[in-house]
């Protein structure tokens, strides 16, 4: 075994132990043991040494991450996370140094990318964003959602042919996981808890896909305060199976259509065997209006494109807080007028099927579908629906506007038309 010493400004930062293991070089990251010392340099050194055809090991201890991590160009590497990576609470640092994600002016604390990456947390490996500090801080700001520089916990950028399994994500600073420009990956046995210990969390999505193809999510458990999981621009061939969502908004498509005159698509989305407890929706879609008001992340509109071939099966609910299935094509932020055109979006939604939707709800709205008059929703199918209140009374309301070719259901009344970021009025 040899020891590779990493120096910055002539000061000893970390020691990375390297040794051959079954022909594969292994780097075990040495933790400093104190939050006064940044372990990010040691982590970067380990990946530099063993990030191609090697193995990087995090021991069962705490690693203090006090600065950004940008780890890309990995190739055929095992990442063994047995301990915890804990992000610092220096909000000022992160606001000024977080890395661009490449979409909606979002940013991140950690970028990880490469080909044939195998990240395994064995059910114990944890990334902890120290989000309680962020949730309390953001409540005091005029912009409590997409605050500039507020980072995602991790962004998988350019990740290909890879597997991420058995990892816990706790109290993410904002979105937990953004996945962008990535393909042919599996994310399985993932646990996320962004529940605030002091105040409720906001905009703490479980995961968001952007410009992604052939991604599988399996056996996810998510406790959070926003989208349980969201498939955004140019997400294609995405499959979600055997997962449980608590307290958030449910499965989301979008928001989308935010960039004026830019065409985006969402195609071939499937979800099966998913449980929702105390979520706002089971499945909802949100697009921006055709009127541009401001710029991303907190403004926009006027986007083009479509979302099609979305199929969901065997959805079970407990205590839904809103319509089980919802569409709002009236997303608008950033000082948009209180009254605006909610039916002028050029982004079209079509070929949506839900087969098997059962459980309990707190509202009589099975569906609330506010679609565009310019590009109506077409081929919306609902079958095998059995939603009831806690007392056993059936939920029977299907509200709709600008829906063509409904299958298996009938509209029972007009839908509310009003600006929304959460799927319905």
In terms of pLDDT, which residue wins out, 92 or 16? 92
In terms of pLDDT, which residue wins out, 32 or 338? 32
393 within some domain: yes
Taking the C-alpha atoms of residue 26 and residue 20, their distance in angstroms, rounded to an integer, is: 6
pLDDT band at 15 (very low <50, low <70, confident <90, very high): very low
Instruction: Give the pLDDT of residue 335.
Output: 53
From 39, 205, 226, 227, the catalytic residue: 226
Residue range 46-75: mean pLDDT, rounded: 98
Tokens of 408: 């298996």
188 within some domain: no
What is the C-alpha end-to-end distance of the chain, expressed in Å? 63
Bridge partners of residue 83, in order along the sequence: none
How many separate domains does the chain show? Answer: 1
227 classed as catalytic: no
Cis ω for the linkage preceding 297 (within 30 of 0) = yes
328 within some domain: yes
217 within some domain: no
Residue span of the structural domain in which 321 resides: 252-425
359 within some domain: yes
Contacts (Cβ under 8 Å, ≥6 apart) of 113 = 71, 72, 73, 74, 156, 157, 158, 159, 182
pLDDT band at 336 (very low <50, low <70, confident <90, very high): low
Instruction: Give the pLDDT of residue 121.
Output: 98
233 within some domain: no
What CATH number is attached to the domain comprising 353? 2.160.20.10
Instruction: Give the pLDDT of residue 143.
Output: 84
Instruction: Give the pLDDT of residue 421.
Output: 86
357 within some domain: yes
The number of CA neighbours under 13 Å toward the Cβ of 382 is 22
Q: Which of 135, 103, 318, 320 is nearest to 225 (CA)?
A: 135
Write out pLDDT tens, residues 62-105.
Answer: 999 999 999 999 999 999 999 999 999 999 999 999 999 999 99
pTM reported for the whole predicted model: 0.94
425 within some domain: yes
- Is residue 352 predicted with pLDDT exceeding 90? yes
Write out pLDDT tens, residues 385-418.
Answer: 999 999 999 999 999 999 999 999 999 999 999 8
Instruction: Give the pLDDT of residue 19.
Output: 42
């Amino acid at each position: 075994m040899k020891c590779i010493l990493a120096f910055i400004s002539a000061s000893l930062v970390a020691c990375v132990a390297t040794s051959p293991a079954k022909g594969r070089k292994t780097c075990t990251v040495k933790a400093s043991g104190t939050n006064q010392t940044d372990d990010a340099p040691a982590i970067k050194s380990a990946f530099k040494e063993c990030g191609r055809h090697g193995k990087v090991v995090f021991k069962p201890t705490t690693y203090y991450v006090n600065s950004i991590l940008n780890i890309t160009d990995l190739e055929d590497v095992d990442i063994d996370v047995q301990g915890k990576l804990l992000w610092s609470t220096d909000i000022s640092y992160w606001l000024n140094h977080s890395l661009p994600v490449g979409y909606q002016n979002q940013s991140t604390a950690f970028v990880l990318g490469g080909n044939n990456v195998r990240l395994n947390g064995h059910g114990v490996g944890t990334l902890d964003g120290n989000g309680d500090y962020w949730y309390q801080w953001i409540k005091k700001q005029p912009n409590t959602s997409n605050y500039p520089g507020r980072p995602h916990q991790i962004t998988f950028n350019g990740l290909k042919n890879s597997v991420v399994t058995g990892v816990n994500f706790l109290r993410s600073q904002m979105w937990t996981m953004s996945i962008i420009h990535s393909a042919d990956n599996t994310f399985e046995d993932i646990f996320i808890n962004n529940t605030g210990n002091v105040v409720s969390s906001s905009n703490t999505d479980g995961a968001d896909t952007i410009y992604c193809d052939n991604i599988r999510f399996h056996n996810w458990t998510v406790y959070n305060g926003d989208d349980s999981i969201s498939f955004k621009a140019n997400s294609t061939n995405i499959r979600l199976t055997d997962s449980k969502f608590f307290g958030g908004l449910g499965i989301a498509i979008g928001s989308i259509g935010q960039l004026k005159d830019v065409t985006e698509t969402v195609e071939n989305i499937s979800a099966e065997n998913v449980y929702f407890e105390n979520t706002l929706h089971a499945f909802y879609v949100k697009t921006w209006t055709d009127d541009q008001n401001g710029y991303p992340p907190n403004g926009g509109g006027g986007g083009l494109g479509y979302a099609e071939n979305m199929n969901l099966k065997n959805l079970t609910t407990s205590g839904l807080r809103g319509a089980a299935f919802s569409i709002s094509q009236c997303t608008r932020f950033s000082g948009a007028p209180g009254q605006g055109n909610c039916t002028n979006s050029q982004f079209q939604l079509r070929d949506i099927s839900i087969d098997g939707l059962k459980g309990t709800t707190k509202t009589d709205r099975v569906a609330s579908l506010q679609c565009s008059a310019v590009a109506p929703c077409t081929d919306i199918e609902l079958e095998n629906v059995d939603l009831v209140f806690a007392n056993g009374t059936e939920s029977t309301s299907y509200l709709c506007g600008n829906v063509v070719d409904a299958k298996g259901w009938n509209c029972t009344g007009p839908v509310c038309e009003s600006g929304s970021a959460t799927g319905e009025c």
